[in-house]
Amino acid sequence: MAYHLMCNNVITKLHYHNITLMARPGITKEQVFETADEIRDEGGIPTITAVRDRLGKKGSYSTYSRYLQEWRDTQNPAPTPPPTPDSVSAIARRLWSEAWRLAAEELETEKQKWEKEKKLLRLELHNLAIELDHCKEALHESEQRERKALEQASKLQGMLDVLQGGKPETPGRKSS
């Protein structure tokens, strides 16, 4: 513990005086990639130890591990599928064409059903509009008959009052 405190104290003093210590010389990704390529080209297997030995045993194992993993990832790209044979392409085109034809037929059938339904609904709407007009006309005639009946009833009431010897009542006033 005392050793760590002493080291931290030294590092703090060095920072205060703008003095930097050189880190252990490292390696670059390019160096690891080049060395791994060389080992592979020679028929060997680029392992962490093999690459590190060739580069003079400098740098950490974790750095070599990380860089070698990146190198391996570039060595084994995802395989690309081979070109599609003409016979398979022709079958796929026929299948696609048939699927489109069937879809177009089904669409046309549905359009015809929809048009037929639309015509039936328009006819029903037209018939309902005619029926509504007849109902309005009948209501108007009924209201006129009712008005005439009320007028006639009022006249008859007036005549009845005269015949009974009384005076016709005026609205708002009753005979005593």
Two structure tokens written together for 139 = 């209501």
Contact yes or no for 71/33 (Cβ under 8 A): yes
pLDDT in tens, 64-81: 999 999 999 888 777 788
Q: What is the DSSP letter of 169?
A: P
Range list of H helices, 1-85: 2-16, 29-41, 48-54, 61-75
Query: Is pLDDT at 109 greater than 60 in this prediction?
Result: yes
pLDDT in tens, 80-93: 888 989 999 999 99
Burial of 52 (0-12, 13-18, 19+ CB in 10 A): buried
CA separation for the pair 61, 67 (Å, rounded)? 10
Q: At residue 170, what is the residue type?
A: T
pTM: 0.36
pLDDT in tens, 156-171: 999 999 999 866 555 5
